[in-house]
Amino acid sequence: MSTPTQTPASPPSGGDIHHSRLDDVSGIVPSQVHPAGRRPALVIAGASAVVALVLWLGLGLHVAAALLLSFVLYLGAIYVTYRRIGGARVAVDHLVRSLVYFAFVCAVVPLASVLWTVIGQGAGRAFDPDFLSQTMNGVTGLNDQQYAEGSAGFVGGAYHAIMGTLLITGLATLISVPIGMFTAIYLVEYGAGGRLGRGIRFLVDVMTGIPSIVAGLFAFALFTQIFGIRDAKMGLAGAVALSVLMIPTVVRNSEEMLRIVPNELREAALALGVPKWRTIAKVVLPTAASGLASGVTLAIARVIGETAPLLVAIGYARGLNWNPFDGPMNTLAVYAYFMFTKPLSPAVREPSLERAWAAALLLVLLVIALNLLARLIATLFAPKTGR
């Protein structure tokens, strides 16, 4: 323990490793580092912005090309400058930092752009009380034409689609959460390492990759077998199709969450003479509750915007249908799809496009709300600490 390991070139001071410095060891050349503030970076960033503007407005380059070119120049300038004032390590640090920021911006730009477009196009109609309370029952291309000419008001809304979305996703959640959660419990608590457990995990992985249209066809085929081809389209079929997509996500999310519950807690409960199933129900699940709940919410968010499987399994309804066990229903995604691809009046598309954008905005808001809910749940259920 206390014998110093013999280095190939022993320190000149005579072998006492504790009193030698790293730079005394021949063969190690520590890089020189000088403190360097952020001011040069800011100055270079400002200069690059000017360069970008000149390239864009002055030379007429495309915005994206101008930004990219000036970013490359920025990287070069950053590296050279910081190498000068701070040394190689500082330069690399700043270089990598800039690249990370760049990657972050690249990831955020599409998101911001989508939000911007959807809000810009949809906000006008989405919060109109009439739009939120009307269905498309009896609305025809004629109404749209009259609206476009100014001789009548805007009619037709997405009430039935909103309710359909909530109903069908709710049903899908009711189906997938118990199945997914119990599968995860089996995988973590009972089947860990066993052959059955490995088999199930493999199948779940395969299921994750199922294209959503296949899930829709599966549900449709299943319900055709049971109810015959004429009565097969119903909300429940859509819920089953969504469950096929949701279950693997729920299993995966829940499995992660159960796995990070410390084994010590399970042992503590078992050692108190608590049976295993009670240990799982009363200790493991409550400890993981926040993660489980937010995992489920994210799984819902994942399927709430599905279009293709619902189109296949549920069809398209113009009016409100509260009964998921009988007849077609509508959902926001399918509604937006139909309004966009099959406008009521092919001659006057604008009102239908307006409806499509409004439905899209409502859908995005639902997803954002679900994500916020997931965070809220995570903090509410989180194990308490502190005095």
Partner 1 sequence: MSKRIDVTDLDIFYGDFHAVKDVTMSIEPRSVTAFIGPSGCGKSTFLRTLNRMHEVIPGARVEGEVAIDGQNLYARNVDPVDVRRQVGMVFQRPNPFPTMSIKENVLAGVRLNSKRISGKAADELTEKALRGANLWNEVKDRLDKPGSGLSGGQQQRLCIARAIAIQPEVILMDEPCSALDPISTLAIEDLINELKVDYTVVIVTHNMQQAARVSDKTGFFNLEATGKPGELVEYDTTQNIFNNPSQQATEDYISGRFG
- Show the site string, 286-305: x = touches partner 1 by CB under 8 A, - = not: xx-x----------------
Q: Which residue's CB is nearer to partner 1, number 171 or number 288?
A: 288
The nearest distance, CB 275 to partner 1, in angstroms, is 5
- Pick from 278, 368, 369, 375 the residue near partner 1 by CB under 8 A: 278
CA distance 324 to 335: 17
Dihedral (CA of 315, 317, 323, 326) sign: negative
The nearest distance, CB 290 to partner 1, in angstroms, is 10
Residues 135-194 interacting with partner 1 (rule: CB under 8 A): 192-193
Which listed range, 94-102, 108-116, 173-181, 379-387, lies at the site for partner 1 (CB under 8 A)? Answer: 379-387
The nearest distance, CB 182 to partner 1, in angstroms, is 20
Residue 226 C-beta-side C-alpha neighbours within 13 Å = 12
Q: Which two tokens stand for residue 275?
A: 């049976």
Q: Which region, left, alpha or beta, applies to residue 128 given φ > 0 means left and ψ of -120 to 50 means alpha?
A: beta
CA distance 296 to 28: 53
- Pick from 24, 275, 342, 350 the residue near partner 1 by CB under 8 A: 275
Which listed range, 15-23, 116-124, 278-286, 312-320, lies at the site for partner 1 (CB under 8 A)? Answer: 278-286
Q: Which residue's CB is nearer to partner 1, number 217 or number 289?
A: 289
Q: Which residue's CB is nearer to partner 1, number 34 or number 276?
A: 276
How many residues does the structure list for the chain? 387
- Pick from 273, 341, 346, 379 the residue near partner 1 by CB under 8 A: 273
Q: Provide the 10 A C-beta neighbour count for residue 97.
A: 12
Q: Which residue's CB is nearer to partner 1, number 138 or number 275?
A: 275
Which listed range, 142-150, 157-165, 280-288, 311-319, lies at the site for partner 1 (CB under 8 A)? Answer: 280-288
- For 193-258, the DSSP string reads TSHHHHHHHHHHHHHHT--HHHHHHHHHHHHHHHH-TTT--BHHHHHHHHHHHHHHHHHHHHHHHH
**Nearest residue to 297 (alpha-carbon basis) of 239, 237, 253:** 253
**Nearest residue to 138 (alpha-carbon basis) of 122, 157, 123, 153:** 157
Residues 233-272 interacting with partner 1 (rule: CB under 8 A): 262, 264-272
**Nearest residue to 322 (alpha-carbon basis) of 168, 132, 136, 157:** 168
Residues 20-39 interacting with partner 1 (rule: CB under 8 A): none
Any contact of residue 274 with partner 1 (CB under 8 A)? yes
List interacting residues with partner 1 (CB under 8 A): 192-193, 262, 264-275, 278-279, 282-283, 286-287, 289, 383-387
